[in-house]
Amino acid sequence: MKSLIARTLGGAALAVTAATGALAQQESTNQVAVMTDWSVFTEPKEGTPKECWGVSSPKETVNSKDGKPVSVRRGDILLFVTYRAGGGGRGEVSFTGGYPFAPGSTVNVNVDGTAFELFTDGEFAWTANADQDNAIMTALKRGSTAVLTARSGKGTQTQDTFSLRGFTAAMEDASKRCK
């Protein structure tokens, strides 16, 4: 699972670069579609994909410590949904906050007032099971924003707000590509 997320993170990091308009990067990535605020990638780029994913970066990020805003350096901040060939069209939700999460902490996901939790390990967070993936996916398809709140190993509280414009179209595309 961790190796999949690490590979996905590598592709997703390119997604953010490509989505921001760097044409040279776009041509060298495995990006296959852009749906408003979400990009779709496949692995491998040519032929029948084994993995497909939708990914987005936050529209707004707030970092605080002891209730006060702070400036911190973070790596890529990405929300993903990954599909695998032969997986029956099931998406797996995951998130990286661009830093190591506090040990034993969770990431709170709020989609237009509906709350969920992801468990953390290192710099990644994901759901506990397929039922939770399905519940979050349903909320994301119906929602307009997702706010992910987490705590770093250094005690910084982060709040990342993701637009869900294009989410449903991107997930339908990624799922079809990896049936």
Share of the chain above pLDDT 70, in %: 83
pLDDT at 32 over 60: yes
In angstroms, the Cα distances linking 101 to 17, 66, 73, 167 are: 24, 17, 14, 26
Q: What is the pLDDT of residue 45?
A: 66
Strands of 114-121's sheet in order across? 31-35, 38-43, 51-56, 78-84, 92-96, 124-126, 114-121, 106-111, 145-151, 157-163, 60-65, 68-69
Q: What is the mean pLDDT of residues 4-30?
A: 43
pTM over 0.85: no
Which 3-state string (H, E, C) describes the chain? Answer: CHHHHHHHHHHHHHHHHHHCCCHHHHHHCCEEEEECCEEEEEECCCCCCCEEEEEECCCEEEEEECCEECCCCCCCCEEEEEEECCCCCCCEEEEECCCCECCCCEEEEEECCEEEEEEEECCEEECCCHHHHHHHHHHHHHCCEEEEEEEECCCCEEEEEEECCCHHHHHHHHHHHCC
Pairing of strands 60-65, 92-96: unpaired
Domains with residue ranges and CATH for the chain: 2-177 (2.60.40.1880)
The first and second tokens of residue 152, run together, are 């770093």
Q: What is the pLDDT of residue 44?
A: 78
pLDDT in tens, 117-162: 999 999 999 999 999 999 999 999 999 999 999 999 999 999 999 9
The first and second tokens of residue 158, run together, are 């982060």
CB 74 within 8 A of CB 99: yes
Q: Distance between CA 138 and CA 130 in Å, rounded?
A: 12
Q: What is the pLDDT of residue 25?
A: 34
Q: What is the pLDDT of residue 48?
A: 76
pLDDT at 14 over 50: no
Q: Which amino acid is at 116?
A: F
Q: What is the pLDDT of residue 19?
A: 38
Q: What is the pLDDT of residue 40?
A: 96
The pLDDT mean for the chain works out to: 86
pLDDT in tens, 81-98: 999 988 777 999 999 999
2 falls in which pLDDT band (50, 70, 90)? very low
